Amino acid sequence: MNFGFMGQILRVNLSTGKIAAEPINLEKARKYLGGAGLATRYLFDETPVGADPLGPDNPLIFMTGPLTGTASASASRYSVVAKSPQTGIWGQANSGGTFGPAMKRSGYDGVIFEGISPKPVYLNIVSGEAQLCDAGHLWGKTVPETEDLLQAESDVRLTIASIGPAGENLVRYAAIMNNKHRAAGRCGLGAVMGSKRLKGIACYGKEPVQIAQEGGFREAAKRQIGFLDESVLKVIFDTFGTSMIADMVNVRGGYPTRNWQESVFEGIESVNAEGIADSVFVEGVPCYACPVTCGRRTEITTGKWQGNAGEGPEYETVNTLGAMCGVSDINAITMANYLCNQYGLDTISTGSTIAFGMECFSRGILTRDQTGGLELNFGDSEVIVALIEKIALREGIGNLLAEGTRIMAQKLGGGSRKFAMQVKGLELPAYDPRAAKICGLGYVSANRGGDHITSYVEAPTFVDVPLLIIENSTIKDPLVADPAEAQVVIDMENAFSALDAIGCCKFMGMGLTSQDMVDLLALATGWDIDIEEYLTCGERNYNLARAFCIREGITREMDILPDRLMQDPLPSGPAEDMLIDRESLEALKDAYYEFRGWDKTTGAPTPKKLFQLGLEDLIPDLQEVPLAKSGLKY
């Protein structure tokens, strides 16, 4: 029996229209745990070095984990993996809601898309039967329109993941959306989907996930859900959502404002959790099987956007479309969030790119002629809303903004690279590491680029929330760059890589331990697995993704922060005069590579480390860094 797994992977060749099911390799499934780990192994093995992220040789891989779709706490997640058109390296996006469980219950642990379709199509999977269907009538439609049309055409209740016009128009940070409002947002994998002319995946099925020890599993899941029900985590998330942390980050001087020129936002009371609750909040929304309602159902009830409703905005969105752009109008931020969901855009990169454009405009690097007469001024709430559609459709200035900050800086010049707030092409999230130095290491070591959720070291630094997922997540002094604390980043990266593989939400890392996850995993799969093997799988997956990045041209020199964070001290606030000087960052990196077992010169996993992790077959691929061959540009 394939306990915890459905036992099949669906392979879809979009160029030929051929669809074939193949058995999942259970040995590999255990080695990489499933989910993002197993998907990354497929990506490494099947993607030619230097493949065009928007070309036919870049596979797009949807994958669930062994706990996805089970009764365990928050087992809603699925991952999408491909080479990113935004960064040129390993791309991974993750989403909750109900799509992951629906895809799994339709009969498949994952779907691998190859090639490029000659015309727009969508994949329809109903009770194990899969077919490619014409999507000509869906092309150009928004995400909600697409879902509504597909549902109207079906006689079963579908669950859908799709792209909007942003993905179709190859915006480099286009998202894949599911359940209308949930985003597999980062790394631009919606653009990969668009390049393949794949509009969506529609799923239906009732096949249960087979559990090795059903009674024991249900008892363990019930016990852990009961613990979460009584936890402070649930109370806070249910009441305030993810924006509960806005005040804590702001009061510590780490809330990026006006494209990171400042780190304390004077309009915080309008956009914090209370501000959202007083203006647009309707009710909390959970994901599949989760006792925590951290999602926000919202509605705009006043002003020019009155009557618009949806889900969000979440903490990152409120900051990037708000304070980063100097905007404190929660109605405008909420409307911009709705439009990002409808058009299929990652809100973090969208807001950060608009903020970058605003600073370029304020410095005269971007002119009115280039903007089509638009004034890209900080604080203009209407312009952030107006720019969403322009970006999604690549109209006017939106065509430039659709490229993201790294490519914009390359095109615009004028010293703008200094304040293009990205790492490896991925725009940074809403925590200023000048106020919490270890976060800077987390940004540069993250395999997908400037990302916070890879290690989520922001929690113990800005929010004082210990993460139970590892034994020690303590950071003694956030304002001190202590190389010894690089081990905390590594431990959290490994633990969260394991969560991405098994199909669980990373927020569970605040309320449950890795041993809790191991107990569920063992009962679900029948594996004789202990915590050491589990965390080693997380470490293996992390090294595998790093190996892909190294193979595609990443070097130690590219593990670097934007110059603004290393050269410009914070002008005011609790972290006034703080920056992350180059010497301190390099010392953190030295410690990180040493603890990881990576080469300090190249930043690559050493042969010794790869042997330890059972990844020795990767060594020939990493003997040379093929930067020229890959075509990667920093």
- Tens of pLDDT, residue by residue over 11-24, are 999 999 999 999 99
| Residue 449 confidence class, pLDDT cut points 50, 70, 90 | very high
Q: Which residue has the higher pLDDT, 254 or 622?
A: 254
Q: What whole-number percentage of the chain has pLDDT above 70?
A: 98
CA dist 401 and 394 (Å) reads 8
| Claim to verify: residue 197 and residue 304 sit in the same structural domain | no
CA dist 402 and 408 (Å) reads 9
Q: Which of 532, 568, 555, 541 is nearest to 622 (CA)?
A: 555
What is the average per-residue pLDDT within 238-265?
A: 94
Q: What is the structure's pLDDT at 338?
A: 98
Per the structure, how many domains does the chain have? 3
Residue 323 lies in a domain: yes
CA dist 375 and 362 (Å) reads 9
Q: What is the structure's pLDDT at 237?
A: 85
| Claim to verify: residue 308 and residue 237 sit in the same structural domain | yes
What is the average per-residue pLDDT within 163-175?
A: 98
Chain-centroid distance of CA 128 in Å reads: 28
Work out whether the CA dihedral 437, 442, 448, 453 comes out positive or negative: negative
* One-letter identity of residue 41: R
CB 565 within 8 Å of CB 106 = no
Q: What is the structure's pLDDT at 631?
A: 41
Tokens 């016009």, residue located: 165
What is the average per-residue pLDDT within 220-249?
A: 88
The structure tokens listed for 405 are 């900050």
Strand, coil or helix: 422: strand
Domain boundary among 371, 398, 427: 427
Question: pLDDT tens, 364-374?
Answer: 999 999 999 99
Contacts of 348 (CB under 8 A, 6+ apart): 185, 186, 316, 317, 320, 427, 429, 430
Domain boundary among 374, 407, 427: 427
| Claim to verify: residue 442 and residue 533 sit in the same structural domain | yes
Domain boundary among 397, 427, 457: 427
Residue 213 lies in a domain: no
Asked whether residue 27 carries a pLDDT value surpassing 80, the answer given is yes
Contacts of 49 (CB under 8 A, 6+ apart): 551, 552, 621, 626, 629, 630
Asked whether residue 112 carries a pLDDT value surpassing 50, the answer given is yes
Neighbours of 100 (CB within 10 A): 31
| Residue 633 confidence class, pLDDT cut points 50, 70, 90 | very low
Q: What is the structure's pLDDT at 511?
A: 81
Contacts of 199 (CB under 8 A, 6+ apart): 120, 121, 122, 135, 138, 139, 146, 162, 163, 168, 193
- Mean pLDDT score across all residues of the chain: 94
Residue 1 lies in a domain: no
Strand (E) or helix (H) holding 178: strand 176-178
What is the average per-residue pLDDT within 32-53?
A: 97
Question: pLDDT tens, 525-566?
Answer: 999 999 999 999 999 999 999 999 999 999 999 999 999 999
Asked whether residue 410 carries a pLDDT value surpassing 70, the answer given is yes
Residue 210 lies in a domain: no
| Residue 254 confidence class, pLDDT cut points 50, 70, 90 | very high
Q: What is the structure's pLDDT at 509?
A: 78
CATH number of the structural domain spanning residue 574: 1.10.599.10
Residue 603 lies in a domain: yes
Strand, coil or helix: 250: helix
Q: What is the structure's pLDDT at 463?
A: 82
What is the average per-residue pLDDT within 326-347?
A: 98
| Claim to verify: residue 382 and residue 441 sit in the same structural domain | no
Beta-strand pair 422-423/426-427: antiparallel
| Claim to verify: residue 438 and residue 401 sit in the same structural domain | no
Q: What is the structure's pLDDT at 625?
A: 53
Q: What is the structure's pLDDT at 630?
A: 40
What is the average per-residue pLDDT within 159-186?
A: 98
| Residue 228 confidence class, pLDDT cut points 50, 70, 90 | confident
CA dist 421 and 261 (Å) reads 11
CATH number of the structural domain spanning residue 27: 3.60.9.10
| Claim to verify: residue 465 and residue 611 sit in the same structural domain | yes
Residue 186 lies in a domain: yes
Q: What is the structure's pLDDT at 632?
A: 39
CATH number of the structural domain spanning residue 377: 1.10.569.10
Asked whether residue 466 carries a pLDDT value surpassing 80, the answer given is no
| Claim to verify: residue 260 and residue 193 sit in the same structural domain | no
* One-letter identity of residue 431: Y
* One-letter identity of residue 24: I
| Claim to verify: residue 148 and residue 242 sit in the same structural domain | no
CB 65 within 8 Å of CB 97 = no
CA dist 627 and 621 (Å) reads 13
CB 353 within 8 Å of CB 173 = yes
Q: What is the structure's pLDDT at 629?
A: 42
| Claim to verify: residue 270 and residue 378 sit in the same structural domain | yes
Three-state helix/strand/coil letters over 168-211: HCCCCCECEEECCCEEECHHHHHHHHHHCCEEEEEEECCCCCCC
Residue 620 lies in a domain: yes
| Claim to verify: residue 76 and residue 18 sit in the same structural domain | yes
Question: pLDDT tens, 136-159?
Answer: 999 999 999 999 999 999 999 999
Q: What is the structure's pLDDT at 239?
A: 87
CA dist 287 and 372 (Å) reads 41
Residue 212 lies in a domain: no
Question: pLDDT tens, 271-293?
Answer: 999 999 999 999 999 899 888 88
| Claim to verify: residue 390 and residue 472 sit in the same structural domain | no
What is the average per-residue pLDDT within 129-141?
A: 98
Q: What is the structure's pLDDT at 506?
A: 85
| Claim to verify: residue 437 and residue 289 sit in the same structural domain | no
Domain that holds residue 81: 8-204
